[in-house]
Amino acid sequence: MSNQLAHSPLDRWHREAGARMVPFAGYEMPLQYSSIVAEHEACRNRAALFDVSHMGRIRFDGEGSEQMLDHLLTRKVSGMPVGAVRYALMCNSDGGVLDDVLVSYLETPSGQRYHLMVVNASNHEKILSWVTARLDDYPKVTVSDRTQLTAMIAVQGPLAMETIRRLFRFDPTRLKYYRATITDQFSKPVILSRTGYTGEDGVELIVRAEDAPRVWENLMLAGREHGFAAAGLGARDTLRMEAAMPLYGHELDEAIDPLTAGLRFACTLKDRAFIGDSALQEIDRAGPAKRRIGLLPEGKRPARQGCEVLDVNGETIGVVTSGGPSPTLGKPIAMAFVSAHHADDTEFMIDIRGKTVRAVPTPLPFYQRPST
C-alpha cells in the first residue's frame, strides 16, 4: 500500500470546521470535530452528518451481474426488485469473511439497471481484486470502481428524515427501510438509500464528487435549526457499537465465519451455490464453536478489543472484539466471542490489562431506537 493518503471530496469542509483528521484505511478522515460524546448525542437525539466517502463503491453492469453476485455472496441478489438493498457477506472457500457489503439494485432515469456494492474502506482493494479475478466467467459483466468519482454521506438520527425530505426531488420518507432510489438535488444526481450504521433512522447518499460540498452544505443548512452536527469516525464507532453492528477487523475477519459472528440472518444456505457454501453448511449443521455476546463490565473502565474473557473459574473462554464507553448508557459495553458452551453463562470476568473485572451478559443490541 502506498503511503500517500487519499482525501474525501469534503476534506476542505472538515478542515475548515476544525476536525481532527486521522489516517484511516488509506484515507485521511475526521475522527471528531468537537467531542465524540457530543457528536454521538447529536445523532441519538437530533441528527448527525457523516462523511463516509472512504467506503468503496463498486458498480456491476451487464448481463450476468446477478449470477456473478450470487456466486460471490451469502445471500441471493438475483430476483431483487429494483430499489432493494441487501446486506450480505463475501466469504472465502473456508467460509471466512472477506467483507460485509450492501448491494443495491438501482435504475437510472434513462432506465438502465445495475447493482451497486458498498464495501469497507479497509477491504476495498482486496474485494476489487477478488471480484475482477472472476470476470472471465462472466464476459458481459463490467465492474467499475466508483469510489473516487463519488462521495458518500450518511444522515442519521430521529430528526434526519423530516428535516431533509424536501431537499430532493424524491421524498426520502417514502423509502422503506433497506430501499434505495436514484433521485436528484437541483438536477444533480443522488442515490438515496434508507440504510445506516448507527442504529438510528436515516439515509445514506451517494453523489458525484464535485457535487458533494454543496449537498453537504445544504444538509447542514437544513439541519441547523434542528441541532444537526457533523460527526466523525469516533462517534460512528460508538454508535455502531451500541447498535451491536459488526465492524470488519473487530467482529469480522477472514478467520471468522458469518454464523459465528451472529449473522445467520444474512446467509441463505439452502439450495444455493456460492463461494464458501459447503464450509458454511457444515458449520450450520454442527453449530458454531463460538458465539458473539454482549457484556456489561462492572465499573467505569472499558474493556477494549483483545481483552480476554474468563469464566467464573478464571479459565479463558473468549475475547473482546469491540468495547468502550457507551455514551447513551453511561457505562462501558463490550462485544465478545466466547466458546459456545459458555455463551449462556450468567456471569463472566474480563481481564482488562492485568486487572480482572466482573461482567454480566446482556442481549444485543445495547441500544435500540424507540419504535415510532
In the complex, the residues that contact another protein under the rule CB under 8 A are: 31-32, 35-37, 234, 237-238, 300-302, 304, 324-325, 327, 332, 353
CB of 198 to another protein, least distance (A): 15
Residue 157 is classified by DSSP as S
CB of 239 to another protein, least distance (A): 11
Of 31 and 279, which has the nearer Cβ to another protein?
A: 31
CA–CA gap between residue 72 and residue 11 (Å, rounded) = 33
Of 35 and 132, which has the nearer Cβ to another protein?
A: 35
CB of 356 to another protein, least distance (A): 14
Of 56 and 234, which has the nearer Cβ to another protein?
A: 234
Q: Give start and end residues of each alpha helix (H) in the chain.
A: 11-16, 36-45, 65-72, 124-132, 160-164, 212-223, 233-242, 277-286
Which among 364, 122, 119 is positioned nearest to 261, based on CA atoms? 364
CA–CA gap between residue 100 and residue 207 (Å, rounded) = 22
Of 102 and 243, which has the nearer Cβ to another protein?
A: 243
**Residue where the block lists cell 455502531:** 240
Which among 223, 226, 227, 234 is positioned nearest to 40, based on CA atoms? 234
Report strand pairing: 97-107 vs 150-156. unpaired
CB of 353 to another protein, least distance (A): 8
- End-to-end C-alpha distance for the chain, whole angstroms: 46
CB of 34 to another protein, least distance (A): 9
Of 204 and 242, which has the nearer Cβ to another protein?
A: 242
Report strand pairing: 188-193 vs 6-7. unpaired
CB of 42 to another protein, least distance (A): 14
Of 195 and 238, which has the nearer Cβ to another protein?
A: 238
- DSSP sequence for 42-94: HHHHS-EEEE-TTSEEEEEESTTHHHHHHHHBSS--TTPPTTBEEEEEEE-TT
- DSSP sequence for 276-325: THHHHHHHHHH--SEEEEEEEESSSPPP-TT-EEE-TTS-EEEEEEEEEE
Of 157 and 234, which has the nearer Cβ to another protein?
A: 234
In DSSP terms, 296 is beta-bridged to: 360
CB of 304 to another protein, least distance (A): 7
Of 208 and 301, which has the nearer Cβ to another protein?
A: 301
CB-based burial, 72-84: b 16+ in 10 Å, e otherwise: bbbbbbeebeebb
CB of 323 to another protein, least distance (A): 11
